[in-house]
Amino acid sequence: MAIKAPPSTAVDSASNSEKASSSASEPAEEKLGTTTGTEAATASMGDYGGPEYQNLEEGLPRIENLRKVSIIPLIFLIFYEVSGGPFGIEDSVQAAGPLLAIVGFFVFPFIWSIPEALITAELGTMFPENGGYVVWVSSALGPFWGFQQGWMKWLSGVIDNALYPVLFLDYLKSGIPALGGGLPRTFAVLILTVALTYMNYRGLTIVGWVAVCLGVFSLLPFIVMGLVAIPKLKPKRWLVVDLRIVDWNLYLNTLFWNLNYWDSISTLAGEVDNPKKTLPKALLYAVVLVVISYLYPILAGTGAVPLNRDLWTDGYFSDIAKIVGGAWLSWWIQGASALSNMGMFVTEMSSDSYQLLGMAERGMLPELFSKRSRHGTPLVGILFSASGVLLLSWMSFQEIVAAENFLYCFGMILEFIAFIKLRMKYPNVPRPYKIPLGTVGCVLMLLPPTALICVVLVLSSYKVMFVSLGAMVIGLVLYPGLRFVEKKRWLRFYVSADLPEFGAPESENNAETLLLGLDKPKKLVVSASTRLMQCCCDE
C-alpha cells in the first residue's frame, strides 16, 4: 500500500473535486465528508449527486478483479439470508394452531419484513459497501454505536448459523437415528461446518449461483406436495384456533426468526453489480418469494392432514409428505432440507464474514480482518464465523432462535434510530432509492415493528435474557479494549482507500461529517482515490 499524501494535498484535491461537482448537485451544507485521521483531513470523491458510487470502486486494482454478484443470485442470497424455504416454520402450528400460523405468515411481512426491506433498500444503496448496517449506524450515531451494532448483529448471525446444522440433522435423524445425539451428531456438525466453510472460502459468486440451484431444488418438492395434497384438502382445518393454549413466545419467535434478516444483504453490497439498481429490485422479488414459500406448504400441510399440534415440530413436513405422497416425497423433502440448510449456512457466513471485512476497512477492527484470500473472500472473517458456529452448535433449536432474536432486536432498534436521524439530518442528500414517505411517514411505518420488538424482548426467558445481555456487555467492553490495543500499537488498524469517500463541504471548518472518524491515527491509501477523483472531475 502507498503512504497517504500530506493532509493539505488531499484536502486541496478534494476541494477541487467538490467545486466541480457542487454546481450540479445539492447545497454544500448537505454534502457529506469523511474524517481521515487525527488531523481530520478530508479526501473528497464527489457527492451523492455526482459519479456512480460503485464506478469509483471499479478502478481500484483489488476490486476490479473480483466478479460481482448479479440480480438472480442476489435474489436467492437474500432468500437464504431470510428463509431458505419452509423448513423450521412447523413450530408456528404447534404454538398457535393452523389459523394463527397462516395469518401470521400473511400479516407479519407487512408489519416487519417490508419495512425492514425498504430501509435496507434505501440505506444499502446510499452506502453500497460491505460494512452495511454498521456504516449506517456509525454515520448517524458515531463509531461507538456502530461498533455495538456490528458486534450484536455479527453475534446474532453466528448464533443463527449454528442453527442450520441442527436443522439439517433433525431432518435426517428419522432416516439415520444415530444422528439424533452423541458423538455421531458431534462429528456430523464438525464435518458439515468445515465443508460448507470451504465452499464459502471459494468465492461469493460461487455461493450465489449455488444458492440459485439449491433454492430451486429445495422448493420443488413442496410444489409437488401441494399438488398431490389437493384431493385431500379440507379448508375447515385451516380455521382451527384455540387462544387459551397459544404459546405466544414460541409463536412470535418462530415468525420473527423466519421473516427477519432482510438487512443482512447490506454487508455484501460492495460485492454486488450496480447495487443502486440491483439491490432494491432483488429485495422486492425476494419478499414475494419468501412469503409464497411459507404460505403454500403450510396451507397444504394443515389442510390435507388431521391436526395433531404436538407433531408439528421441525422436520414434520417430511412426515406430511409421506402421508400425502409416499416415502419418495418424504425423502425428497429431507434431501431438500439438507441442501437448503447448506444454502442458509453459506449465505449467512458470507454476510457475517463480509461484515467483519467491512468493519476492518472502516478502521473498527484490526487490519487482519480485511485480508482477502486469493478467491477474494474475507479469510479471517470466515474463520472467526465458523469458530463461533462450532462453539454455539450445542444449543437447542428454541434456545438458538430466542437468543438470536433478542440480540437482533437491539440491533434493529439502532438501525431504526439511524435511519430516522439520517432522514432528519440530511434530508436533501440524493438517495439512489428512497422510500416514498416523508420523515413522519417513516416514523409511523416503524411504530408496528418497534412494538413487535418490545413484545419479543418482554417474552424472552430469563436464561436467554441473561445470556444475551451478557453478550452485549462484552461488546461495550470490547470497543474501548480495541482502542487501547491500537493506542499501544499491538495491532494495526487502518481505513481502506478502496472505499469511495463522500463529498466534503467547501470549507473544512463547517464540514458536517457523516462517517465519523475514530479519533485515532490511521494509515490511509489515497493515491488511487485521488487519481479516480480527478478523472471523475475531468469527465
Domains of the chain: 71-488 (1.20.1740.10)
The sign of the dihedral angle between the CA atoms of 370, 137, 145, 255 is: negative
Predicted confidence at residue 229, as pLDDT, reads: 94
What digits encode the pLDDT tens for the residues 123-142? Answer: 999 988 888 999 999 999 99
Q: What is the Rg, in whole angstroms, of the alpha carbon atoms belonging to the chain?
A: 24
What digits encode the pLDDT tens for the residues 172-213? Answer: 676 677 676 778 777 877 887 788 788 778 778 888 888 899
Report how far residue 511's alpha carbon sits from residue 458's, in angstroms, rounded to the nearest whole number: 42
Report how far residue 183's alpha carbon sits from residue 257's, in angstroms, rounded to the nearest whole number: 29
Under-50 pLDDT residues of the chain = 1-65, 502-513, 515-539
Exposed, middle or buried by CB within 10 Å (0-12, 13-18, 19+), for 399?
middle
Cα–Cα distances in angstroms (integers) from residue 190 to residues 166, 391, 399, in the given order: 11, 10, 20
Residue labelled with grid coordinates 414434520: 316
Report how far residue 143's alpha carbon sits from residue 123's, in angstroms, rounded to the nearest whole number: 17
- Asked if 333 and 318 count as a contact pair (C-beta separation under 8 A), the reply is yes
- Asked if 86 and 308 count as a contact pair (C-beta separation under 8 A), the reply is no
Instruction: Cell numbers for 114, please give them.
Output: 417490508
Report how far residue 17's alpha carbon sits from residue 15's, in angstroms, rounded to the nearest whole number: 5
Cα–Cα distances in angstroms (integers) from residue 7 to residues 3, 4, 11, 36, 526, in the given order: 12, 8, 6, 9, 10
The DSSP bridge partners found for residue 34 are 515
Q: Where are the alpha helices (DSSP H) in 326-396?
A: 327-361, 379-392
Give 10's Cβ-side CA count (13 Å radius): 28
Report how far residue 127's alpha carbon sits from residue 122's, in angstroms, rounded to the nearest whole number: 9
Residue labelled with grid coordinates 426467558: 461
Over the range 269-298, which residues count as b (16 or more CB within 10 Å of their CB) and which as e? bbbbeebbebbbebbbbbbebbbebbbbbb
Contacts of 282 (CB under 8 A, 6+ apart): 71, 74, 75, 78, 265
Predicted confidence at residue 501, as pLDDT, reads: 52
In this structure, the number of other CB atoms found within 10 A of the CB of residue 425 comes to 13
Predicted confidence at residue 299, as pLDDT, reads: 95
Residue labelled with grid coordinates 440451484: 213
DSSP, collapsed to helix, strand or coil, labels residue 374 as: coil
Predicted confidence at residue 395, as pLDDT, reads: 60
If we measure between CA atoms, which residue out of 291, 311, 289, 310 comes closest to residue 299?
291
Give me the DSSP letters along 228-284. HHGGG--GGGGG---GGG--HHHHHHHHHHHT--GGGGGGGGGGBSSHHHHHHHHHH
Predicted confidence at residue 176, as pLDDT, reads: 73
Predicted confidence at residue 399, as pLDDT, reads: 65
Provide the whole-model pTM: 0.76
